[in-house]
Amino acid sequence: MLTTFALQVIRNEEIAPRVNHISLTCPEGFSFIPGQFITIHFEHAGRSIKRSYSIASRPSIDQTIDFAASYVEGGLASEYLFGLKPGAVLQASGPFGRLILRSEPLNRLFLIATGTGITPYRSMLPELAEKIRAEPHLKVFIMQGVQYRKDVLYAEDFHVWAQQFPEQASYRTYLSRENLSAARAAYEYSGYVQSSFSELAVVPEQEVVYLCGNPNMIDEAFALLQAIGLSTSQIRREKYISSK
C-alpha cells in the first residue's frame, strides 16, 4: 500500500484566472529533486481519488511544498483543492517523476512550458543558477506560452532570476491572443511558444529541450524538434492532462 503523509495548507490564493497557488507545510525529512511532483489523495462519494501536481517550491528559498492547480469545470480535484482553507489538512504521497535536470555537457538548454507546466521550472531556478555559474558557456532559455498576459504564472520569479545572468539566461513569455501593439514587458513575445524554434535556431549539437504542459503543444513541439534533427534523448516531456 502506498504510504501517504499529512500536509497542512498555509496559503491558497489565485495567481491567475482559474489558477491557484497552494502552499503546504513541508514534513520533517521530506526532500525532492526539482522537477518532481507529489500526488494528492482525497475521498469523493466513497471513492479514493488521486491527482498529481508538479512541485513549484525552490529548494534553498522556499520552506514549503508549493504547487499550482488549474480549475477544471466539474473537476473533483478542482472542487476539493480550491475549497481548502489555511489550516486544512490533506494527504499526499511522493515525490515522483523524472523530469529533472541531469549532469551532461550542454551548449544550450531550453525549458518550454504552457500553463501550469511552468511550475517545475520554477523549482529548478536555484539548480539552474548553480549550473550557469559552473558552466560559463551554457545558455538557458525559459519560455512560457499562454493566451493572455493575465495567464502568465510566476513571471516576476523568472524575470528576476534571468536578470542575474544577462549573458547566459533568457526568460520569454509567448502570448498567443494578446495584442502587443501597446506597451509591453521586455520578455513578452507574440505567438505560440513553439514558433520560436526557428528564430532561436535550435540545432542538434549539445542541446536539450524540456517540454511540459498542454499535450497538443508537446506533440507539435516534439515533431518540430525531431524534424530539425534532435534525437528523442534530447527531448524530455511531461504532459499535463486535465482530468475530472
85 and 23, same domain (yes or no)? yes
17 and 90, same domain (yes or no)? yes
Q: Grade residue 3 by pLDDT with cuts at 50, 70 and 90.
A: confident
Q: What is the mean pLDDT of residues 34-57?
A: 96
- On the question of pLDDT at 75 being above 70, the answer is yes
23 and 116, same domain (yes or no)? no
- On the question of pLDDT at 77 being above 90, the answer is yes
In angstroms, rounded to a whole number, what is the distance separating the alpha carbons of residues 14 and 20?
A: 4
Q: Tell which of 69, 96, 123 closes a domain.
A: 96
Percent above pLDDT 90 for the chain: 85
Q: Tell which of 96, 122, 155 closes a domain.
A: 96
Q: Tell which of 96, 118, 152 closes a domain.
A: 96
Q: Of 217, 215, 221, 219, which is closest to residue 240 (Cα–Cα)?
A: 215
Q: What is the mean pLDDT of residues 33-48?
A: 96
Does 101 fall in a domain?
A: no
CATH assignment at residue 115:
3.40.50.80
156 and 50, same domain (yes or no)? no
Does 198 fall in a domain?
A: yes
Which residues touch 68 (CB under 8 Å, ≥6 apart)?
A: 15, 19, 20, 21, 22, 53, 56, 116, 119, 153
- On the question of pLDDT at 183 being above 90, the answer is no
CATH assignment at residue 91:
2.40.30.10
Q: Grade residue 8 by pLDDT with cuts at 50, 70 and 90.
A: very high
Query: Could you give the number of structural domains in the chain?
Result: 2
Q: What is the pTM of this model?
A: 0.95
Q: What is the mean pLDDT of residues 44-62?
A: 95
66 and 153, same domain (yes or no)? no
How high is the pLDDT of residue 195? 84
153 and 195, same domain (yes or no)? yes
How high is the pLDDT of residue 209? 96
Q: What is the mean pLDDT of residues 20-40?
A: 96
Q: What is the mean pLDDT of residues 21-27?
A: 97
55 and 136, same domain (yes or no)? no
**161 is in which domain, residue-wise?**
108-239
229 and 153, same domain (yes or no)? yes
For 186-219, the pLDDT digits (tens) are 899 999 998 888 778 887 778 999 999 999 999 9
29 and 75, same domain (yes or no)? yes
Q: Grade residue 185 by pLDDT with cuts at 50, 70 and 90.
A: confident
Q: Grade residue 143 by pLDDT with cuts at 50, 70 and 90.
A: very high
112 and 136, same domain (yes or no)? yes
Concatenated DSSP letters for 4-63? -EEEEEEEEEEEETTEEEEEEE--TT----TT-EEEEEEEETTEEEEEEEE----TTT-S
